[in-house]
Structure 1
Amino acid sequence: MTRHAAIRAMAPRDPHEAHRVATPLELLFDLVTVIAIAAAAAALHHAIAADHAAEGIVGYLLTFFAIWWAWMNFTWFASAYDNDDALTRLLTMVIMGGALLLAAGAERFAAHLDFSLVVSGYAVMRAGMIALWLRAAWNDPPRRAGALRYAGGIAFAQLYWLGLYFLSTPESPALLPLILLGWAIELAVPAIAERAAGTPWHRHHIVERYGLLTIIVLGEVLLAATIALQKAWDGSFDVRLVHTALSALVITFAMWWLYFAREEQLSTSRLSRSLQWGYGHLIVYAAGAAVGAGFAVLVEILTGHSKLGLRAGDLAVAVPLGIYLFGLWLVRDRFELRGAAQWVLPLFAAAIVALPFAFPALEAIAALAVAAVAVRAALAARSVRAESAA
């Protein structure tokens, strides 16, 4: 079989392959993920602006989990087995089609816990992943046990979701606990499968893929800044919207700088550490996109389309921003930094969340975000110099 054959054996990739970068197919998958995340963030901002924050947050988190989980499953699989043949491309495109269906149902799910479209889209996505794992099991005998556990675990979880859809109603008080049980089942699958036979994922490739999704998430904040500027010149000039746009821009830069710091994101391939890092990014991604939703809420308030006060709008930005900083500490800083530098992000996260209660000013939140970047960089550099001297 030649390298250019339409169907090739799905042999494992070399986990130490040099110059491993994201493929065009993976980037196309990211584009679909952009649409799904934007739909989830839009549903969140509409719910908060309509003073239905509790319902909106629950729906957002559940929807975002499904989007992120599908992206994560494909990303780690592709890092280990992507052979870029025609069948792999077609199966991946099936998964993308399911992601778009899921995105179409995001607002209905967030508003009314109507998960008909979400479950349908998710079923399509998971069917594609099961087929990919079965191909890997067929072509990689040393790791067949792990691949079959992946395929079987995904199938079991999908049967659970279908049963939940047909046997429950949105009004049932048991629905939310049952959804959380479903996510627990999903999260258990990789942990169980990897212990049977670890997949040959590429550490630098995975770090790059996660970084690319971070940039996608930060795009939600920039989108809100653009909307604020559009509204500022829509009929009559409002300087408060300009301040909102500038604050969004500054906070986006600070979030980017904090994520793409000089320290390693994932310095080991150990399973326990990889699971903590990989799963913990759900907090980083969900909070990052929610910052953009928070800025969109502020625009609604300033343009008179929401009855909420400015303090509520500031909190809609500050709370997810603080969680974003805490998420970075959870997945990276507590492992990679020492001394005072290790605690910069949790302290600034607490200060950012508390600030709107004492001093409701968006510019102050942006200033704290910038200060977090500067203080962390200075203390991290001092820690490195101290270790070098020792």
Structure 2
Amino acid sequence: MHNTKYFEPNRRATWLELFFDLIFVVAIGDVTHILSHTHDGHLDPLQFWQYVLIFIPLWWIWASHTMYANRFDADDRKHRVATLFIMFLLIIISGLIDQRFLASFDVIIVCYAGSKYIVAMMYFVSKYRHKESEALTTAVGWVIVAGTTIGLASILFPAPQRYVVFYLGILFDLIVFIFFLPRRLQGIPAHTEHLIERVGLLTLIMLGESVISLSTGLANISWTVERLVTAATGFVTISSIWWVYFDSFHLLTKQKLATGHSVLYSHFFVFIGLSILASLIRHAILDDIVVSDFRVLSVIGAVCFFIGKQYGYFMERPALRRQLVVNTLIVFVLIGFALLLPRTGYILFGITAAVICYAFLSLRYLNVPPQRHDRPRHSAITGD
């Protein structure tokens, strides 16, 4: 494994990984656009479920590739070509989202399966490159092939059974990775600094999408004082979330992770929360959604973001658990009061105030020293 980037001093995300993240966020932006359409001020529940159902496979492609790159990225030609091809398949999926989602679901399934088979192939290739990782790469590769084949088999079924079969394939992957593969994955511990940087960079790009949503909300409308105040509130919301998310990031950066699951998988909820946040800001500026639907989106977005953000710290830093729970409950209570406000702009302002409050509450544990319990990477792999 010594010809991979795993042992590179001061390892950073590669330019290709940044490109990959950008393509992923473009696809997620198209998914989020599903939540932009309202009918007489209401958001159809089917729209939300469509949003979630297409978000899941896109995220799982990103997570699968990130898990591979974290341990086995050699940044060679084979890796680059394979990654670029996955990115092209993501672009195809992105183009089929929204109005053509149901009609083109077979194509989406095939593109998803193609992306996952490529990731499995990357693992199998690594097996021949790095003999010491053969047991892990073989096991993970075949798990991905099995789960992907289950998902691909869904094209043989009519709707709605095909949707059930497709997501059973993803569920199979998740269950095996979470419950049956941790011991093998711990044999080659996650590269903590790289993994934290990847999720942090993607979070930053997602926040950028929220800014785009804010500017889109102001485009082609008559500017009023109320709309400008709402837009300013939206920007403060984005800035506060950035502050809350990254202010305590150093507590994870120096923490040695084993599988990395606590950070990687919990960010599914972080990204869902940020995506919904972008939609909330746009709706608040345009005032094109009824307050009841805005409240529902606010609850889902806030809960997903804070639970997703807190889970990694909760699992990796046990000393912080009590404070994390207390702070999160306080924020949820404050957001609950904000939801009682009569207008969408007011609710957004209340949510912003709650996030700012959390930033002050978190000051108590920002200077907690990191804990290190893992063996060095080279000894973990070689057995020394």
TM-score normalized by structure 2?
Answer: 0.84
**Candidates 240, 251, 261, aligned match of 2:226:** 240
Q: 1:384 to 1:194 in 2, by over 3 A?
A: closer
Deviations, residues 204-246 of structure 1 (Å, cap 9, x unaligned): 0111001001112112221121123324xx3x33223212211
Q: Runs (4+) of structure 1 moved beyond 6 Å?
A: none
Q: Is contact 2:262-2:312 (8 Å) kept?
A: yes
Q: Distance in 2 between matches of 1:98 and 1:252?
A: 30
Name the SS of the counterpart of 1:210 in structure 2. Answer: helix
Cα distance in 2 for residues equivalent to 1:181 and 1:65 = 12
Where structure 2 has 5 or more consecutive residues not aligned to the other structure, the ranges are: 370-384
Residue 317 (structure 1) shift: 3.7
Q: 1:36–1:99: 8 Å Cα contact kept in structure 2?
A: yes
Report matched runs for 1:190-339 at 5 Å. Answer: 190-191=177-178, 192-196=180-184, 198-199=187-188, 201-231=190-220, 234=221, 236-262=222-248, 263-265=250-252, 267-271=255-259, 274-300=260-286, 302=287, 306=288, 308-313=289-294, 315-333=296-314, 335-336=316-317, 337=320, 339=322
* Superposition deviation, residue 106 in structure 1: 2.4
Kept in 2: contact 1:15–1:203 (CA 8 A): no
Q: Do the aligned partners of 2:210 and 2:278 also contact (CA within 8 Å) in 1?
A: yes
Partner Cα distance (2:232, 2:296) in 1: 17
Equivalent pair of 1:295/1:316 in contact (CA under 8 Å): no
- 8 Å CA contact retained: 1:221, 1:289: yes
Which is bigger in relative contact order (C-alpha 8 A, separation at least 6)? Answer: 2
Structure 1 residue 74 displacement after superposition: 1.2
Deviations 1:261-310 (A, max 9, x none): 23423623233xx222221111111111111022223344x2xxx4x324
Distance 1:12 1:380 in 2: 39
Identity rate, percent = 21
Q: Which moved more, 1:144-153 or 1:20-29?
A: 144-153
Match of 2:147 among 149, 157, 163: 157
* 3-state SS in 1 of match to 2:22: helix
- Which of the residues 135, 152, 163 maps onto 2:125? 135
Contact 1:12–1:80 (8 Å) recurs in 2: no
CA RMSD of aligned residues (A): 2.7
Counterpart-to-counterpart distance in 2, 1:331 and 1:47 = 35
- List per-residue Cα deviations over 1:18-58 (Å, max 9, x = no partner): 21001111111111112111011111222688634421221
Q: Please list the CA deviations of residues 284-339 of structure 1 after superposition, one character each: whole Å capped at 9, or x if unmatched.
A: 11111111022223344x2xxx4x32453355345403431222122225653254
Equivalent positions of 1:1-390 (< 5 A) are 13=4, 15=6, 17-46=8-37, 51-108=42-99, 112=102, 115-169=105-159, 172=160, 174-175=161-162, 177-191=164-178, 192-196=180-184, 198-199=187-188, 201-231=190-220, 234=221, 236-262=222-248, 263-265=250-252, 267-271=255-259, 274-300=260-286, 302=287, 306=288, 308-313=289-294, 315-333=296-314, 335-336=316-317, 337=320, 339-340=322-323, 342-358=325-341, 360=343, 361=346, 362-377=348-363, 379-380=364-365, 384=368
Q: Which secondary structure does the structure 2 equivalent of 1:264 belong to?
A: helix
| Cα contact 1:297–1:316 (8 A) shared by 2 | no
Q: Report the 3-state secondary structure (helix = DSSP H, G, I; strand = E; otherwise coil) of the residue aligned with 1:254.
A: helix
Distance 2:297 2:226 in 1: 17
The Cα of 1:101 is off from its aligned counterpart by 1.3
Number of residue pairs aligned between Structure 1 and Structure 2: 360
TM-superposed CA distance for 1:62, in Å, is 1.8
Structure 1 residue runs of 5 or longer lacking an equivalent are: 1-9, 386-390
Distance 1:143 1:50, change over 3 A: farther
Q: Normalising to structure 1: TM-score of the pair?
A: 0.83
Tell me how far apart the structure 2 counterparts of residues 165 and 11 of structure 1 sit (CA, whole Å). 41
Say if 1:43 and 1:107, in contact at 8 Å, map to a contact too. Answer: yes
